[in-house]
């Protein structure tokens, strides 16, 4: 299974998502994270500590020994890049924060994906603020009303993710009272992906 994480906007949790989806999939089978972002954010994360899966750049990567591959891509891909990414993965995961600037960028991404008739993508709402804010739920409702595929689970905004990035470890290994909740969010997204895959393949969308 190949999962590609992409976004037209930086700072929306793209690398954090790639790291934690790879950590989840590693629990299912041997997983490789390919850091195809010129900033090498995923490799920097790995170099600061220890991750439970292999991290390589696109020049080093050899997918053969791995059953799952997660690709962290460059922010703001060109339309041609986005088309290539969509056509070479099982699922394109598009993180977005529930704010207007992130949503503006997301609209451009979705318009292009629809133009090239790509359907095997899902929106992941990240950095959801705590209650009483309803921003995360409101954005999910808007996307569903527009018939845009979105994960049922969103990723809540926790400082534990920043601590994990600084320490070079997955969030579940951080000493923080909200670390487990952050990991549970990504576990739930991972389970959604596993449930989604047979349907995508059966419909010939991947």
Q: What is the pLDDT of residues 161-200, one digit of tens each?
A: 999 999 999 999 999 999 999 999 999 999 999 998 877 6
Query: Positive or negative CA dihedral for 122, 37, 33, 168?
Result: negative
Query: 89 near 201, Cβ under 8 Å?
Result: no
Instruction: Grade residue 108 by pLDDT with cuts at 50, 70 and 90.
Output: confident
Say if residues 19 and 51 touch (Cβ distance below 8 Å): yes
> Exposure string (b/e) for 20-36, b if CB count within 10 Å is 16 or more?
bbbbbbbeeeebbbbbb
- Report d(CA 92, CA 121) in Å as an integer: 4
pLDDT value of residue 58:
78
pTM, to two decimals = 0.91
Give yes or no for residue 79 having a pLDDT over 60. yes
Place of tokens 């850091």: 35
Give the chain's radius of gyration (CA, Å).
16
Mean pLDDT of the chain: 89
User: Under CATH, which number does the domain 2-196 receive?
Assistant: 3.40.50.300
Tell me if 152 sits within 8 A of 183, measured CB to CB: no
What is the pLDDT at residue 205?
A: 47
């Amino acid at each position: 299974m190949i999962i590609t994480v992409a976004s037209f906007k930086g700072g929306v949790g793209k690398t954090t998502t790639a790291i934690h989806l790879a950590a989840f999939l590693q629990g299912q089978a041997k997983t490789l994270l390919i850091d195809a972002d010129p900033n090498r954010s995923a490799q920097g994360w790995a170099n600061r500590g220890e991750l439970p899966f292999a991290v390589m750049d696109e020049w080093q990567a050899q997918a053969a020994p791995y059953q799952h591959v997660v690709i962290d891509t460059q922010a703001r891909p060109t339309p041609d890049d986005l088309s290539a990414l969509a056509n070479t993965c099982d699922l394109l995961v598009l993180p977005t924060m529930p704010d207007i600037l992130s949503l503006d960028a997301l609209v451009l991404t979705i318009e292009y994906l629809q133009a090239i008739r790509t359907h095997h993508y899902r929106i992941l709402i990240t950095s959801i603020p705590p209650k009483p804010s309803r921003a995360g739920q409101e954005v999910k409702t808007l996307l569903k009303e527009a018939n845009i595929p979105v994960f049922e689970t969103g990723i809540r905004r926790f400082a534990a993710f920043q601590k994990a990035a600084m320490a070079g470890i997955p969030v579940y290994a951080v000493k923080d009272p909200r670390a487990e909740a952050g990991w549970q969010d990504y576990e739930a997204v991972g389970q959604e992906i596993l449930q989604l895959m047979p349907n995508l393949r059966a419909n010939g969308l991947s």
